[in-house]
Amino acid sequence: MTQGDRSLLLVGAFGEDALRCVREAAATVGVATAVVGRCEEAPAALAAAVEPLALVLQMDAGGAAQTFAHVRAQARLAQLPIFGVAPQRDDLAFTELFSWGGDDLVTLTAPPALARRLRPLVARPAPRQDAKPRDRGAIVAGADARWRSVMGRALYQGGFSVRFMASVADLAQESLADGVRVVVVADDMGPGAAEAALAAARSQGSQAAWVVVAPPKRMALLQAAIGTLGPLSVADGFAPPENVLFLTNELLSRRGVDQRASPRVLYGTTVAFRAAGRDEDEIGFSYNVSAGGLYVRTLAPLDAGQELWLEMWPPRSERRVRLAGTVAWKRVFGPSEGATVPAGFGVKLTEGLAGDLERWRDGYEAFARTVLGSGR
Residue type for position 23: R
Mean pLDDT value across residues 326-341: 88
Confidence of residue 133 (pLDDT cuts 50, 70, 90): low
Mean pLDDT value across residues 10-22: 95
The class that CATH gives domain 137-253 is: alpha beta
pLDDT in tens, 273-309: 999 999 899 999 999 999 999 999 999 999 999 999 9
**pLDDT at 130 (0 to 100):** 52
**pLDDT at 348 (0 to 100):** 98
Q: Which helix (H) or strand (E) holds 19?
A: helix 16-29
> Cα–Cα–Cα angle for 169, 174, 179, nearest 5°?
160
For the chain, where do the domains classified as CATH 2.40.10.220 start and end?
265-373
For the chain, where do the domains classified as CATH 3.40.50.2300 start and end?
3-123, 137-253
Distance CA 66, CA 9 (A): 16
Helix 216-226 / helix 193-203 crossing angle, nearest 10 deg? 30
Mean pLDDT value across residues 124-138: 69
Domain at 3-123: CATH code: 3.40.50.2300
CATH homologous superfamily for 265-373?
A: predicted glycosyltransferase like domains (2.40.10.220)
Q: Which helix (H) or strand (E) holds 18?
A: helix 16-29
Confidence (pTM): 0.92
The pLDDT of residue 131 is above 70? no
Confidence of residue 49 (pLDDT cuts 50, 70, 90): confident
Mean pLDDT value across residues 111-132: 80
The pLDDT of residue 147 is above 70? yes
Helix 16-29 / helix 111-123 crossing angle, nearest 10 deg? 40
**pLDDT at 123 (0 to 100):** 87
**Residues near 53 by Cβ (< 8 Å), separated by ≥ 6?**
6, 7, 8, 31, 81, 118, 121, 122
Confidence of residue 1 (pLDDT cuts 50, 70, 90): very low
- Computed over every residue of the chain, the mean pLDDT equals 91
The pLDDT of residue 56 is above 90? yes
Confidence of residue 128 (pLDDT cuts 50, 70, 90): low
**pLDDT at 375 (0 to 100):** 47
Mean pLDDT value across residues 217-239: 94
Mean pLDDT value across residues 33-61: 92
Residue percentage of the chain with pLDDT more than 70: 94
The pLDDT of residue 338 is above 80? no
